[in-house]
Amino acid sequence: MADLYSYLLVAIIIFTIGSYGIITQRSGIKILMCIELLLNAANINLVAFSSFNGSATGQVFALFSIAIAAAEAAIGFAILIALFRIRDTINLDNINILRW
């Protein structure tokens, strides 16, 4: 595992793309996709460190995180579909009825 850094670099790049996307995008689907990027950047870190340290804990953790990401995506998309049915839009700027 000489080049742990290259893995971390990939993770950082993905994480940056994801966070940039979350802040700039308006479409709910794009934001969900960006969240997936963040999660997967974290997963890469977990697996990279786990392999670097020679213990399986990080990989197990990554599996948990993948499962949770799947649940999160399912719920997120379900909410978006429900929203789209009611409001005919998934542009998050227009979805602010809970605002004061």
| Pairwise CA distance, residues 47 & 7, whole Å | 9
Burial of 33 (0-12, 13-18, 19+ CB in 10 A): middle
Compute how many other C-beta atoms are within 10 angstroms of the C-beta atom of residue 90.
20
Tell me, residue by residue from 52 to 81, as one string, x for binding to other proteins by CB under 8 A and - for no binding. Answer: ----x--x----------------------
Find the binding residues for other proteins in span 11-40 (CB under 8 A). 19, 22-26, 31
2 binds other proteins (CB under 8 A): no
* Interacting residues toward other proteins by CB under 8 A: 19, 22-26, 31, 56, 59, 92-93, 96, 98-100
